[in-house]
């Protein structure tokens, strides 16, 4: 791109493109969708190119495409800031919009500005724009997707609502109905000041299963844990349908995904067997903490550029649920986390060095079963642990 500033636009041309974006889950959803499409193509699976390493800015996308010039199907993880450019330059066939949460506050600032960029790009694309697969539970996503030529709505039964209290259209408060405790139906949102409201979803997630437009229930049987990943799979399934892949083939492909980008991978680091979980922001931590199975849990925090330098989000995470466990705080911002855990009344030890923290966890957990220690980390320490552990 230094030699040819138009390289990205050139590399995007002549391909069927599915772009995936959102604050949380875009790497996993991209892996799921790419696997689904490959399963649908069968012997022609090498026609698919994807940025599997998660490099989702302009240079990363161009690099992935440049390594597969003859692949005519591209499944691209796309940073929130890059969505508008990919829509403008590549005219994707499908655009998956997962969620919007406060993330890297010093980089993204107010997330409504990003939502507006998506909305404007879809409006400018008009009839040539993508079919959008979008999360119906996210008010900002719904507002951003209003200008798309066509939208397939997905209801993921998400538990996180703290980033959606005001209407992105008029600024009034949002109201929610109470969900039915037996069926899980309800819990829909609507604006108290205008007509913006949760749209009717074509696909729904209920009790760990995906309900399609015909009312059939599909058990995804994924190898990646967490109900939120069933929601990611529902988005990937809808996108796969738009690309001509049937449900059975798509789910069979998704079941081959084990540790997308190192997430949920198990490795031995500093003599300690660990399971790595990435959590970048309050919404991500809300989903990651319930996944922790080990009695001793390592939490790794940094504030490098890729993490976001502002760590005030620590106070929006319910670390209180770790009471009764042993916690080891590590990373350059371990002391900030220690203060938060003190207020949460969680027992902890502080060891800023990652390798030493894992040894300390092993010492604390010597009486535990021989299962991996859960390590929940922000982006920079997560990537460092991947490298140390030799995880591709």
- Same domain for 223 and 284, yes or no, is no
What is the per-residue pLDDT for 365?
A: 64
What is the per-residue pLDDT for 108?
A: 52
Whole-number Å distance between alpha carbons of 122 and 242:
18
Strand partners for 74: 17, 49
More confident residue, 106 or 185: 185
- Is 80 a member of any domain? yes
Question: Cα(first)–Cα(last) distance of the chain, in Å?
Answer: 26
Is 257's pLDDT higher than 50? Answer: yes
User: Which regions of the chain does DSSP assign to beta strands (E)?
Assistant: 16-21, 48-50, 73-77, 94-97, 131-135, 150-155, 174-176, 189-191, 203-206, 209-211, 217-218, 266-269, 272-278, 296-300, 326-330, 348-350, 373-377
Q: What is the pLDDT of residues 91-127, one digit of tens each?
A: 999 999 999 877 655 555 568 888 999 999 999 999 9
Strand partners for 204: 155, 211
- Is 319 a member of any domain? yes
Radius of gyration of the chain (CA): 21
Whole-number Å distance between alpha carbons of 169 and 142:
10
What integer best gives the mean pLDDT of the chain?
91
The DSSP H or E segment spanning 339 is helix 334-343
Is 227's pLDDT higher than 80? Answer: yes
Q: Is 167 annotated as a binding residue?
A: yes
Is 302 a catalytic site residue? no
How are beta strands 272-278 and 73-77 bridged, if at all?
Answer: unpaired
Listed residues 259, 292, 325: the one ending a domain: 259
DSSP-derived 3-state class of residue 50: strand
- Same domain for 279 and 207, yes or no, is no
- Same domain for 70 and 212, yes or no, is yes
What is the per-residue pLDDT for 18?
A: 98
Listed residues 235, 259, 283: the one ending a domain: 259
- Same domain for 254 and 299, yes or no, is no
Is 182's pLDDT higher than 80? Answer: no
- Is 160 a member of any domain? yes
Q: What is the pLDDT of residues 133-174, one digit of tens each?
A: 999 999 999 999 999 999 999 999 876 677 778 899 999 999
Q: In total, how many domains does the chain have?
A: 2
- Same domain for 358 and 290, yes or no, is yes
The token duo for 232 is 């990611």
- pLDDT exceeding 90 applies to what percent of the chain? 75
C-alpha distance from residue 118 to each of 49, 141, 255, 282, 385 (Å): 24, 9, 31, 23, 34
- Is 178 a member of any domain? yes
Residue with tokens 């919404």: 283
Q: Is 194 annotated as a binding residue?
A: yes
More confident residue, 262 or 252: 252
Residue 367 — pLDDT band, cuts 50, 70, 90? very low
Q: Is 170 annotated as a binding residue?
A: yes
- Is 2 a member of any domain? no
CATH number at residue 204: 3.40.1190.10
Q: Which residues contact 351 (CB under 8 A, 6 or more apart)?
A: 328, 329, 330, 334, 357, 360
Is 298's pLDDT higher than 70? Answer: yes
CATH number at residue 371: 3.90.190
More confident residue, 246 or 105: 246
- Is 371 a member of any domain? yes
Q: Is 329 annotated as a binding residue?
A: no
Compute CA 215 distance to the chain's CA centroid, rounded to the nearest angstrom: 26
Domain coverage including residue 347: 265-389
What is the per-residue pLDDT for 69?
A: 92
DSSP 70-124: T--EEEEE--TTTHHHHHHHH--SEEEE------IIIII-SHHHHHHHHHHHHHH
Is 368's pLDDT higher than 60? Answer: no
C-alpha distance from residue 343 to each of 285, 287, 319, 320, 348 (Å): 17, 21, 9, 9, 12
pTM score of the predicted model:
0.91
Check 310, 316, 353, 374 and give the catalytic one. Answer: 310
Whole-number Å distance between alpha carbons of 243 and 17:
9
- Is 1 a member of any domain? no
What is the per-residue pLDDT for 390?
A: 87
Whole-number Å distance between alpha carbons of 247 and 61:
28
Our CA angle for 297, 301, 303, nearest 5°, is: 175
What is the per-residue pLDDT for 371?
A: 80
- Same domain for 276 and 348, yes or no, is yes
Strand ordering across the sheet containing 348-350:
266-269, 272-278, 373-377, 296-300, 326-330, 348-350
């Amino acid at each position: 791109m230094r030699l040819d500033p138009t390289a990205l636009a050139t590399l995007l041309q002549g391909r069927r493109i599915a772009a995936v974006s959102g604050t949380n889950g875009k790497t996993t959803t991209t892996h799921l969708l790419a696997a689904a499409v490959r399963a649908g193509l069968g012997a022609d699976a090498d026609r698919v190119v994807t940025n599997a390493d998660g490099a989702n800015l302009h240079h990363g996308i161009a690099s992935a495409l440049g390594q597969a010039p003859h692949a005519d199907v591209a499944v691209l993880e796309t940073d929130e800031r890059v969505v508008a450019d990919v829509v403008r330059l590549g005219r994707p066939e499908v655009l998956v919009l997962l969620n919007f949460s406060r993330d890297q506050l010093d980089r993204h600032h107010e997330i409504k500005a990003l939502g507006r960029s998506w909305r404007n790009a879809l409006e400018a694309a008009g009839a040539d724009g993508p079919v959008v697969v979008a999360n119906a539970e996210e008010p900002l996503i719904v507002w951003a997707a209003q200008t798309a030529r066509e939208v397939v709505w997905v209801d993921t039964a998400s538990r996180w609502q703290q980033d959606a209290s005001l209407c992105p259209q008029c600024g009034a408060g949002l109201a929610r109905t109470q969900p039915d405790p037996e069926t899980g139906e309800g819990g829909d949102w609507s604006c108290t000041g205008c007509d913006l409201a949760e749209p009717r979803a074509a696909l729904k997630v209920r009790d760990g299963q995906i309900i399609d437009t015909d009312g059939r229930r599909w058990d995804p049987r994924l190898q990646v844990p967490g109900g939120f990943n069933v929601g990611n799979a529902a988005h990937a399934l809808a996108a796969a349908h738009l690309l001509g892949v049937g449900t059975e083939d798509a789910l069979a492909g998704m079941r081959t995904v084990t540790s997308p980008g190192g997430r949920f991978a198990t490795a031995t680091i500093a003599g300690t067997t660990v399971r790595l979980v990435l959590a970048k922001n309050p919404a991500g931590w809300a989903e990651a903490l319930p996944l922790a199975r080990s009695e001793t849990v390592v939490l790794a925090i940094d504030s490098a550029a890729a993490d976001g330098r502002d760590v005030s989000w620590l106070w929006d995470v319910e670390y209180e649920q770790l009471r009764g466990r042993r916690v080891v705080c590590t990373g350059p911002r371990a002391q900030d986390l220690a203060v938060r855990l003190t207020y949460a009344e969680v027992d902890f030890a502080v060891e800023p060095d990652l390798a030493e923290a894992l040894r300390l966890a092993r010492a604390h957990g010597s009486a535990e079963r021989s299962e991996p220690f859960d390590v929940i980390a922000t982006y920079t320490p997560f990537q460092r642990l991947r490298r140390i552990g030799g995880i591709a």
